[in-house]
Structure 1
């Protein structure tokens, strides 16, 4: 059985794969095609998919059954990410929206209902004053602690993330992988703690493959969002989460604050996150630390439109709220 599966998978790279529409297809589309055809031989769904969807493995197997039938009927099969996304949405149209969207994220496929827009101008390679740049792994929902702070992970294979991974972390990561393969989850959990305590974590990349990530705490430069216990604190956190969840970010780091967080500008698909938070009215311009006039302009736009926290007649500044709390505690 093992040899037949091996020959089958190797066949996907052979000329016969052309009839399945894999030859010449985009990387994401080829990955989808291989997984769909592999399901026919193994009845197994890809590892890592469960991190992106809410339904069970049994439900996932049902999706691949439907996708397999539809793939074989397609004339021709999808070749571009856009075609593949439409193919997935049409085939799984009666399933939960969260599952379909998570499935698309797992394969790196665009959402076909997303409004078309002109390609955003990418930020400069490294703006003046920035000390370094981070390219993050997809952001986990639990990584957003409030409206102006995110915990991100950078693949240790990345030049910035690699640095000097401690020997004990490298060893623990390797042993954890072996323990998980052997289904010794108790040992794997113990090794996971060693990795996490050192500031690292096994994290799924955009393809759902687990890689070792190094943790960075990011404080969004130039804005200050309401604290969780303040009015609009929850809304600010949700607004930031909606902008970054499941996305890989580009972070330009300028400084480090007294809490050890990297202070930086965050971009997602060319969108400047601080700009969006200010325009939506879920953050203040933090003038004590950042005098950029564009931040003041975006805050004024939200204030004029009474968006977000500006719907309140006298919203309290978060730095004043924190000062009152400290004085009260004292």
Structure 2
């Protein structure tokens, strides 16, 4: 995957860590489904799932976004670092307590861990719950049914 940054317009928000953007120039516009790198937001039926999506919408919907593609995931989505209005979206979601740092990628994004620790200490968002359930645990438990 190339490291060239793409300038795009965010046209849809799926959940707290996934968006759709239109990238390219008139006549060569391409729609890209993007998974924000290094974070995992609560699923829509989980506590704070809707709030996480709303926050991402507030940050990015109908905004210019800079995407730095890193990889593709198992669902064919582009995994990318995303900035909306100059703001690192992963950092914003984690700081607000509306996404977890996704453990397998934490070492590649060390700046996110202290943000999550501060959100936990301040009981922000999902950290206000007694026992917040990680989205990967939630998905695993609900795929068993």
Matches within 5 A, 1:26-45: none
Any stretches of 5+ residues in structure 2 without a counterpart? Answer: none
Q: Matched residue pairs, number? A: 144
Shift of 1:288: 1.6
Flag the 1:277–1:130 CA change in 2: closer, same or farther, 3 A: farther
The counterpart of 1:147, out of the listed 16, 26, 43, is: 16
Q: Which runs of 5+ in 1 are unaligned?
A: 1-128, 163-212
Answer yes or no: is 1:310 the counterpart of 2:127: yes
SS class of match (2:123): coil
In structure 1, the partner of 2:87 is 271
Query: How far is 1:293 from its partner?
Result: 1.7
User: Could you tell me which residue of structure 1 aligns to residue 7 of structure 2?
Assistant: 135
Greater strand proportion: 2
Q: Are residue 230 (structure 1) and residue 46 (structure 2) matched?
A: yes
**Hey, which bits of structure 1, 4+ residues long, moved more than 3 A?**
none
Are positions 1:285 and 2:121 aligned together?
A: no
TM-score (norm 1): 0.42
Deviation of 1:130 after TM superposition, in Å, equals 6.0
**How far off its partner does 1:271 sit?**
1.0
SS at match of 1:323: helix
1:233 Cα deviation from its structure 2 partner? 0.4
CA contact (8 A) 2:41 2:135 kept: yes
Query: CA-to-partner distance for each residue in 1:234-261, whole Å, 9 max, x for gaps?
Result: 0000010000122110000000011110
In the aligned structure 1, how far is the partner of 2:53 from the partner of 2:13? 7
- Higher relative contact order, chain-length normalized (CA < 8 Å, sep 6+): 2
Q: Is the 8 A contact 2:5 2:68 kept in 1?
A: yes
Q: For the aligned residues, what is the CA RMSD?
A: 1.6
Greater per-residue helix proportion:
1
